[in-house]
Structure 1
Amino acid sequence: MTRLLLATRNAGKVAELQRLLASAVPGVEVIGPRDVPEYPEAPETGATFEENALLKAREAVRYTGLPAVADDSGLTVDALNGMPGIFSARWSGRHGDDDANTALLLGQLRDVPDERRGGGFVCAAALVTPEGVEHVLRAEWRGAVLRESRGSHGFGYDPVFLPAGSARTAAEMEPAEKDAVSHRGQAFTALLPVVAEVLGGTAAAGG
Structure 2
Amino acid sequence: MAATSPTLTAERILEATEEVLRRHGPAKATVVDVARALGVSHGSVYRHFRTKTALREAVTKRWLDRTTQVLADVVADGERNPEARVREWFAVLFAAKRRKAGLDPELFATYTVLAGEAGEVVGGHVAELTGQLTEIVRAGVEGGTFTVDDPEIAARALFQATARFHDPGYAKEWEQPGVEGEFEAVVDLLVRGLRAH
TM superposition score normalised by structure 1: 0.27
User: Which is greater in Rg?
Assistant: 2
- Greater share of residues in helix: 2
TM superposition score normalised by structure 2: 0.28
